[in-house]
């Protein structure tokens, strides 16, 4: 019995550590601290996080499954660099999925869900007031994943999380890293429409919002070397 508990505890610790490392990498990409094309060397990452290379490999495999990381034989793992064609595919997918997210969110709306959305808007506004550009970028992406989570469909939520990350990488590649990917008032207008249960307006606002993000992108092949230790230890 004690052995079983110990085994279960060890498994939980391992999974927690994998989740923590995954989340650290995810947030670093979302905040534009980790560049597309950056090599994520197993040995270096293992040293930074104080875990085995096998643990790092597990995290990288998970990220690769979500297309956030690309794995190349004999070369290793690299943060994904979406092509312009892949970027168009991502926005096409978002135009199909996000109206469905809003419809389901409105169908299941509660005062608590509305409050969660408005609290998130307050976080975005605070980050803008403080001039914290990295927080603004991260929170802008999280608004869309939060909406999907509140809609209550786990498959939609997973899809949105992956699509938002790929959008973030696309913005980094094809626009200035600190550019505002979301206009200040667009999330507010979407939430107001949701709160009024005005599905048609909410969907139109979301599609316009995605058009504005995609329309702001321009080809930029510039890349830079990322300091992994500064990103994850700083």
Task: Please compute Rg for the chain using Cα positions.
Answer: 19
Task: Give the Cα separation of 171 and 79 in Å (integer).
Answer: 14
Tokens standing for 8? 């279960």
Last residue of a domain, one of 80, 95, 130: 80
For the chain, strand residue ranges (E) read: 69-72, 76-79
Task: Give the Cα separation of 127 and 184 in Å (integer).
Answer: 11
Q: Note the pLDDT tens digit of each residue in 53-67.
A: 999 999 999 999 988
70 and 90 inside one domain: no
> If DSSP codes are grouped into helix, strand and coil, which group holds residue 78?
strand
143 and 196 inside one domain: yes
67 and 129 inside one domain: no
Confirm whether pTM is higher than 0.75: yes
- pLDDT for res 30: 85
Please provide the average confidence, as pLDDT, over all residues in the chain. 86
190 and 94 inside one domain: yes
Last residue of a domain, one of 80, 109, 132: 80
The better pLDDT of the pair 222, 234 is held by: 234
69 and 105 inside one domain: no
> If DSSP codes are grouped into helix, strand and coil, which group holds residue 70?
strand
- pLDDT for res 172: 83
56 and 109 inside one domain: no
Tokens standing for 133? 């550009």
The alpha carbon dihedral of 221, 227, 231, 234 has a sign of: negative
> For 162-169, what is the mean pLDDT?
90
> For 43-55, what is the mean pLDDT?
92
Whether residue 121 is predicted with pLDDT greater than 60 in this model: the reply is yes
């Amino acid at each position: 019995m004690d052995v079983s508990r110990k085994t279960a505890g060890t498994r939980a610790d391992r999974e927690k550590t994998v989740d923590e490392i995954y989340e650290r990498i995810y947030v670093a990409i979302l905040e534009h601290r980790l560049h597309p094309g950056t090599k994520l060397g197993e040995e270096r990452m293992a040293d930074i996080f104080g875990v085995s290379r096998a643990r790092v490999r597990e995290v990288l495999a998970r990220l690769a499954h979500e297309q956030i990381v690309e794995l190349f034989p004999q070369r290793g793992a690299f943060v994904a660099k979406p092509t312009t064609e892949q970027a168009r595919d991502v926005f096409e997918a978002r135009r199909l999925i996000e109206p469905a997210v809003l419809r389901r969110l409105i169908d299941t709306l509660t005062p608590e869900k509305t409050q969660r959305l408005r609290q998130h808007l307050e976080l975005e506004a605070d980050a803008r007031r403080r001039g914290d550009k990295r927080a603004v970028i991260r929170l802008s992406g999280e608004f869309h994943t939060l909406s999907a989570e509140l809609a209550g469909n786990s498959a939609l939520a997973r899809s949105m999380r992956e699509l938002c990350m790929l959008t973030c990488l696309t913005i980094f590649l094809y626009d200035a890293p600190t550019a505002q990917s979301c206009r200040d008032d667009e999330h507010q207008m979407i939430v107001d429409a949701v709160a009024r249960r005005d599905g048609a307006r909410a969907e139109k606002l979301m599609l316009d919002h995605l058009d504005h993000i995609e329309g702001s992108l321009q080809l930029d092949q510039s890349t830079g070397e990322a300091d992994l230790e500064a990103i994850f230890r700083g």
